[in-house]
Amino acid sequence: MNLTLKIWRQKNVTASGKLVNYKVDGISGDMSFLEMMDVLNERIIREGKEEPVAFDHDCREGICGSCAMYINGRAHGPQQKAAVCQLHMRSFRDGDTIYVEPWRANAFPVIKDLCVDRMALDRVVQAGGFISVNTGSAPDANEIPIPRETADQSMDAAACIGCGACVAACKNGSAMLFVAAQVSKFALLPQGKAERKNRAEKMVAQMDIEGFGACSNTAACTAECPKAIGQIHIARLNREYLGAKLTSTNV
């Protein structure tokens, strides 16, 4: 498979970037997109004319969420419910031109090439995405009755890998789906109810501080989420936040 790649190259956060053309050949359809990028970088290193393309990666199993790329105008590329590391080159055709860009959002400044600073998501989690109250030792199995449907919804929210695709896909650069997943996974369980009001208030406040936009209500976030986290969690975040504000003692 022979391909033309148009890749965003940017030296650092203050430099201007541009799309640069690269040709790659001999690409197997069984390669992942990141393996194809490795092939390109090996060639660039051999030629020694420029630095290899910088991009984030770690687990390469769709778990860590670090492989953040905008491919042909879509977060994580054309394959549904998959991160870039799970996107195989058989999703493209021989001779295709592929555009590869970093996440585009005010809260995600470009560090270099395809690498962006997503620490804003970490700071949102630090604001309230945890349980700090003493819940005691681990209970015996089935000691705390939790309906199966409730447990499944909590696990669905907990599947979020924090990749930021929802932010990149949203025309307003909103982090509502990410924050909703962090709030929802605790709000549904007994262990998370003690801090539910403070959690919703603090995380939404931090989301605003970080410069994320408002929810666009187009569901683009869910469409591009590699874990298919649903809009139901955004609805729950809105309920949690409204309930917290109505009874809030914070000034």
The DSSP-derived string for 85-119 is: GG-BGGGS-TT-EEEEE----TTS-EEETTEE--H
Query: Pick from 112, 133, 162: which residue ends a domain?
Result: 112
**Average pLDDT of every residue of the chain:** 94
Q: Which domain range does residue 207 map to?
A: 119-246
180 and 90 housed in the same domain? no
Asked if residue 126 lies in contact with residue 150, where contact means CB atoms within 8 angstroms, the answer is no
Nearest to 37 by CA among 96, 100, 122, 105: 100
> Under 8 Å CB-to-CB from 221, ≥6 apart: which residues?
165, 166, 167, 169, 170, 174, 176, 177
Cα angle 111, 115, 120 (rounded to 5 degrees) comes to 75
Question: Quick check: is 58 in a domain?
Answer: yes
62: pLDDT strictly greater than 80: yes
Number of domains comprising the chain: 2
**112 bridge partner residues:** 115
pTM of the model: 0.92
Q: What is the CATH number of the domain that holds 29?
A: 3.10.20.30
191: pLDDT strictly greater than 90: no
The more confident residue out of 250 and 240 is 240
**Dist. CA 246–CA 249, nearest whole Å:** 9
Kindly state the average pLDDT of the residues 225-240: 96
225: pLDDT strictly greater than 80: yes
The confidence score (pLDDT) of residue 64 equals 94
The confidence score (pLDDT) of residue 248 equals 74
Question: Quick check: is 251 in a domain?
Answer: no
> What share of the chain has pLDDT > 70, as a percent?
98
**What does each C-alpha distance from 220 to 124, 170, 189, 230 come to in angstroms?**
21, 6, 28, 11
158 and 75 housed in the same domain? no
Least confident of 72-81, 121-130, 190-199: 190-199
Query: Pick from 82, 97, 112: which residue ends a domain?
Result: 112
59 and 77 housed in the same domain? yes
> What share of the chain has pLDDT > 90, as a percent?
87
The more confident residue out of 248 and 162 is 162
107 and 162 housed in the same domain? no
Kindly state the average pLDDT of the residues 90-109: 96
69 and 161 housed in the same domain? no
Q: What is the CATH number of the domain that holds 241?
A: 1.10.1060.10
Query: Pick from 80, 112, 144: which residue ends a domain?
Result: 112
Which structure tokens are listed for 56?
């984030």
Q: pLDDT-derived band of residue 250, with 50, 70 and 90 as boundaries?
A: low
DSSP-derived secondary structure letter, 251: -
The confidence score (pLDDT) of residue 249 equals 66
